[in-house]
Structures are given as C-alpha cells and as structure tokens.
Amino acid sequence: MAEINLRKLSRAELLEMMIKFSEDAEASEARAKQREAEIEEEKRQFIIEQSKERAELLKRFDEEKAEMRRKFNEQKAILQAKFDKDINGLKERLEREKAELQKEVDDALEKIGKAGTLADAALSLNGVFEAAHKASAMYYKEVKAKCDELERETKLKCEQKIREASEKSSFRQ
C-alpha cells in the first residue's frame, strides 16, 4: 500500500480503510485456514499413499520371503536327499566292513577254539604252529629215511660180520 499520510485522512476514510484492512485480514485469515485445510488434506492424502505403498512393499516382501523359503526348502530337500544317499552308502559300507571284521574275528575264534592253550592259540594265529608242524613232518621223514638207510647198512654189516665169523669158525674146526 502506498504511503498514505493518515493525519490528512478523515474519519470516514480512516474507518473505510480500517474496514478494508479488517476485510483483508479476514480474507487473509480465511485463505490461511483454507491453505491449512489444503495442507491437512495433502498430508492426509500423503499418509494414505504412504500406507498403501507400505502395504504394497510388505506384500512384495512377504511374497519374496515366501519364494525364498520355497527355494530354500527345495535346496534343503535336494541336500537332504543327497545326505540320505551318502548316509545310506556309508551305512552299507559300515555293514560290509563290519561283516568282514566279524568274519575275521570268527576265523580267529575258530583257530583259538582248535588250539588247546593260549600259547597254542597265539602260535596258531600267527601261523607258527602250522609251519612248525610242516617242518617237524619233513624232519621226521628225513630222519626215518636216514634211520631206514642206517638200518639197512647195519643189517648188511651184521650179516657180513656173521658171515666172516662163520667163515673164521669153520676154519678153526
């Protein structure tokens, strides 16, 4: 408003001016309230949009989470199947090895059962007993053969001595 010298104005002009200022103030106040209402409406709309956006984000998050769980469960099932297969293979291997060890133990127990004493069992288990038995059988055969040979030689010598003695005695008679 242009500078006005208020002293030069009359009362009517001053009242008119005050009414005009009052109307302008009321209009400004009405505009401010209207603007405030518009801002409140924009704020309410923004909150609604934000809540819709948040709901959409939560929905997508839940969908992605469900998808990730589904994939995780698939991978888990695959790994579980592989694990079960490996475990079954290991169990079968364990059973085979267990059966082999049981057979070895049974064989060892059978050898111990056949052997009379602990020393015999130890020797039998180590194969010493069998080797000694074979060696003694061979030695017996060799000794028997040597004895048979010595016996024949001795018989021959005895027969010869008897012949010599008979010849000598026939000369003396």
Each residue's pLDDT tens digit, 27-59: 999 999 999 999 999 999 999 999 999 999 999
- Confidence at residue 1, expressed as pLDDT on a 0 to 100 scale: 47
Block residue for tokens 């003695």: 165
Residue 132 · residue 123 · CB < 8 Å: yes
Residue 169 · residue 163 · CB < 8 Å: no
- Global model pTM greater than 0.75: no
Q: What is the dihedral of CA 32, 34, 39, 45, to 10 degrees?
A: 180
- Confidence at residue 121, expressed as pLDDT on a 0 to 100 scale: 63
Name the residue with higher pLDDT: 7 or 142.
142
Asked whether residue 9 carries a pLDDT value surpassing 70, the answer given is: yes
- Confidence at residue 110, expressed as pLDDT on a 0 to 100 scale: 81
Helix 128-172 to helix 118-126 angle (10° resolution) is 100
